[in-house]
Amino acid sequence: MEQDVKDLNVHLRETEGVISSIYDDASLKKLPYRLHAVLVHEGQASGGHYWAYVQDPAQQRWCKFNDITVSEVTWDEVSRESSGGYRHVSAYCLMYIDARREGCIGAGGSIQELPADLQELVDKDNAEFEKEMRDWDEKQANKAAAAENECKSIVPRPDVVIDAESGTQTSDATENDEGSTLSTLAEAARSLGVEEALTQWCIQQRTTLERISREYSPEHPGDVRLEHLAIYLMKCKAPEHTISLAILEQIMDDIRTQEETLLMVKQCGQNRLNAERESANIEYQGWKEKYSLFQKVNSCFLTGLEHLHNNKCREALPYLVHACNLNSKLLNPGNPGQAMNEQLLTQWRRVCFLRLNELAVRMFNSTDWKSVCGGLELVSELVVPCIPRLSASLQDADRGAVEQVRNCWCNFLASPLDDRHRAKLEEYLPKLLDVTSESCPEIKPPPVMRPLSSRDLCDRFVRAMELVNANPTAFTT
């Protein structure tokens, strides 16, 4: 027996020696090479999910490419994900490159290093592509809204009464107010001169916007920043010239008449805008992009809340999750006015998350096997993708919601289940318990309809908050 053990140890050392020296062949040492990329696969051989790690030699860092997201990762993570394990993750492909020719894979400089004519073409193409994407999202959202309006039957709710004519009356009143306002501006231009009238009008508009901002008390159900870009800039403490640009630009947009005096005012204002933009265009466009994103966050949030009010958790959650994700881009501890109220967003994301899980549980308890499978699919497609962000949240309530959901499904294992239900549950349970942001794709962003106007978004926000206050049971778990 002792001799057998000795022989086994000898063979073991010999095998280890062969493995450790397998690359000592002189022919394999002629060219230096290094690992450049790793393609990782998770799931079954016939399907599953793929992502890639690629090293950026210029920055000496690894980046993870997962669907539409790119994030920086550590070498430890690359090594860990490439080594397999109980989650069936394994390196699918390794790419090595000639270490002597690393310069060949560089990005070749930034866009700012391109010739001016090529840079202009790239900027133009990028702008056109972004516009196409916005138009596509809006078109899809309009289609979805039209289909929903055609299919659903309208049932009056006793707790919510909305006058269908009020929107038209408000619109007509707004148009009348604008007409009266423009007439006043034209009269001022004829009596004071175009330049002076425009200057005084900008000052008056600034005073009006400041008054509107003051009238919004903390108890007001609306968000005053949705009223006007200039108010948003005031709340963000943006530079004064940027606020003035926003006010002047809005005045120019409001002048849509062919009346001669107003056309002269518009031309004067346009000349001022062009002069101001030459010195502050990049900064101003940056603020406009932030405000556009802020409006999009609100639009997503309100759409999600409206779906939630109509007990459509499946449709609501993607909007509420997307609103939180977009809002994170605006969060700035030094300038809280840029973003929407994070507590408000995460609260309703959490409520919808728990409500959707309750729906999935009811479906799983059904005697209809199709409903059982549908409930678990809901968990896989919508509940599980939310878990990484909720688990990483700084809010105890978010992390508590995750534990509540996990405990809910784990408790089924201790309850009497038939073999079919138990087998199906055990198939899905690992997805719920072993979730990381790396292994779990996020919920696909829903199509977002562009707001018709700031007034439209303001009214929707107020109505949504009033619904919440009037029907608290409809918005709780």
What is the C-alpha separation between 155 and 162, in angstroms, rounded? 12
3-state helix, strand, coil in the chain (%, to 5): 65, 10, 25
Q: What phi and psi values does residue 38 have, to the nearest 5 degrees?
A: -135, 125
Strands 69-73 and 33-42, by their bridges, are unpaired
- In this prediction, residues 135-145 reach a mean pLDDT of 67
- pLDDT score recorded for residue 325: 93
What is the C-alpha separation between 88 and 85, in angstroms, rounded? 6
In this predicted structure, the answer to whether residue 221 has a pLDDT above a threshold of 50 is yes
Look up residue 157 and give its DSSP letter.
B
Write out pLDDT tens, residues 60-84: 889 989 877 788 888 888 887 766 5
Residue with tokens 């109509």: 310
In this predicted structure, the answer to whether residue 174 has a pLDDT above a threshold of 60 is no
- pLDDT score recorded for residue 97: 87
| DSSP reduced 3-state for 63 | strand
The answer to whether the pTM exceeds 0.85 is no
pLDDT band at 159 (very low <50, low <70, confident <90, very high): very low
Instruction: Provide, rounded to the nearest whole percent, the portion of the chain with pLDDT above 90.
Output: 29
Q: What phi and psi values does residue 443 have, to the nearest 5 degrees?
A: -60, 135
- pLDDT score recorded for residue 172: 45
- pLDDT score recorded for residue 255: 84
- In this prediction, residues 421-427 reach a mean pLDDT of 88
Q: What phi and psi values does residue 71 have, to the nearest 5 degrees?
A: -140, 150
What is the C-alpha separation between 316 and 296, in angstroms, rounded? 15
Q: And the tokens for 191?
A: 């009596």
Which segment of 110-119, 138-147, 156-165, 389-398 scores lowest on mean pLDDT? 156-165
pLDDT band at 170 (very low <50, low <70, confident <90, very high): very low
Residues 169-183: b if buried by 16+ CB within 10 A, e if exposed: eeeeeeeeeeeeebe
Helix axis angle for 313-328 and 260-309, nearest 10°, is: 130
CA proximity to 288, closest of 251, 319, 257, 249: 249
Residue type, 201: W
Compute the mean pLDDT over every residue in the chain, rounded to the nearest whole number: 80
In this predicted structure, the answer to whether residue 44 has a pLDDT above a threshold of 90 is no
Of 36-45, 106-115, 383-392, give the range with the top mean pLDDT. 383-392
Write out pLDDT tens, residues 247-275: 999 888 888 877 888 888 888 988 888 88
CA atoms lying within 13 Å on the CB side of residue 105? 16
pLDDT band at 144 (very low <50, low <70, confident <90, very high): low
- pLDDT score recorded for residue 207: 93
pLDDT band at 89 (very low <50, low <70, confident <90, very high): low
What is the C-alpha separation between 405 and 386, in angstroms, rounded? 11
Cα dihedral across residues 300, 301, 305, 308: positive or negative: positive
Residues 429 and 417: beta-carbon distance below 8 Å: no
Other beta carbons within 10 Å of 136: 11
Q: And the tokens for 357?
A: 């899980």
Other beta carbons within 10 Å of 68: 9
- In this prediction, residues 432-450 reach a mean pLDDT of 76
- pLDDT score recorded for residue 419: 86
Which segment of 163-167, 236-240, 318-322 scores lowest on mean pLDDT? 163-167
- In this prediction, residues 191-208 reach a mean pLDDT of 90
In this predicted structure, the answer to whether residue 108 has a pLDDT above a threshold of 80 is no
CA proximity to 388, closest of 321, 315, 303, 326: 321
In this predicted structure, the answer to whether residue 163 has a pLDDT above a threshold of 70 is no
- pLDDT score recorded for residue 377: 92
Which segment of 136-145, 199-208, 448-457, 463-472 scores lowest on mean pLDDT? 136-145
CA proximity to 326, closest of 354, 351, 290: 290
- pLDDT score recorded for residue 295: 93
CB-based burial label for 369 (10 Å; 0-12, 13-18, 19+): exposed
Cα–Cα–Cα angle for 299, 281, 332, rounded to 5 degrees: 50
Residue ranges of alpha helices (H) inside 21-115 are 75-81
Residues with Cβ < 8 Å from 298, sequence gap 6 or more? 223, 226, 323, 340, 451, 457, 461
In this predicted structure, the answer to whether residue 103 has a pLDDT above a threshold of 80 is no
377 or 56, which is more confident? 377
Which segment of 26-30, 87-91, 316-320, 423-427 scores lowest on mean pLDDT? 87-91
- pLDDT score recorded for residue 235: 92
In this predicted structure, the answer to whether residue 164 has a pLDDT above a threshold of 70 is no
